[in-house]
Structure 1
């Protein structure tokens, strides 16, 4: 999940540094256009988090069926747990920021 945010921001930074959109690769342009704002970045992060959680669940199910080794299941579940912890931390920060904004004097 953090890698996705990093790659998106790096791609946008490369376009800005070159200051020439025509020279940017199509993949970078697509990611920059898709995540033009904060909402786009958060949407991409959420999609990656959901994918990681689904992969952990799928690995667990495959392990029950005897298709995947225990090591692979542990890796997938630990990755899903880390992703969930990051998502909860981001949610907490967003709620905290919202509460601070609502307490501001107008």
Structure 2
């Protein structure tokens, strides 16, 4: 499954992974942030989507590594749980986004021409 996500991430027109870090949400901290268009005018929907897929893939791989380290006894339980919870959140976000895209496609296909 990770390979499939990696293939989706490689579809991005711009492979600037560093740009995704500038789009991290700071609303949970109560800080305001400029819109993505103002901070980086070259960002396209495809690059944002590719960066999201890359981040999700990274979180899942990190959780897998931490799980193996936990089994071997080299990582503590808290690190393993945090990594797995972050991977689960990334996966749930990806699933919700996929559902919204499919729903939008179905709505468009129902439109009369």
User: TM-score if structure 1 supplies the norm length?
Assistant: 0.71
Structure 2 counterpart of 1:95: 102
With a CA cutoff of 8 Å and minimum separation of 6, indicate the structure with the bigger relative contact order.
Answer: 2
Distance 1:5 1:89 in 2: 22
Q: Could you say what secondary structure the match of 1:105 adopts? A: coil
- Of 40, 43, 48, which residue of structure 1 is paired with 2:50? 43
User: What is the Cα deviation at residue 73 of structure 1?
Assistant: 0.3
User: What is the Cα deviation at residue 5 of structure 1?
Assistant: 7.2
Is the contact made by 1:63 and 1:73 (CA closer than 8 Å) also made in structure 2? yes
Structure 2 counterpart of 1:6: 23
Higher helix share: 1
Is the contact made by 1:4 and 1:44 (CA closer than 8 Å) also made in structure 2? no
Distance 2:22 2:88 in 1: 18
Distance 1:95 1:4 in 2: 27
Q: Structure 1: any 5+ residue segments left out of the alignment?
A: 16-31
User: What is the Cα deviation at residue 37 of structure 1?
Assistant: 1.6
Runs of 4+ in 1 over 2 A off after TM superposition: 3-7, 9-12
- Of 80, 84, 92, which residue of structure 2 is paired with 1:77? 84
- The RMSD of aligned alpha carbons is 2.3
Q: Structure 2: any 5+ residue segments left out of the alignment?
A: 1-19, 25-33
Change (3 A) 1:5 1:92: farther
Aligned length: 86
Distance 1:69 1:43 in 2: 32
Q: Could you say what secondary structure the match of 1:6 adopts? A: coil
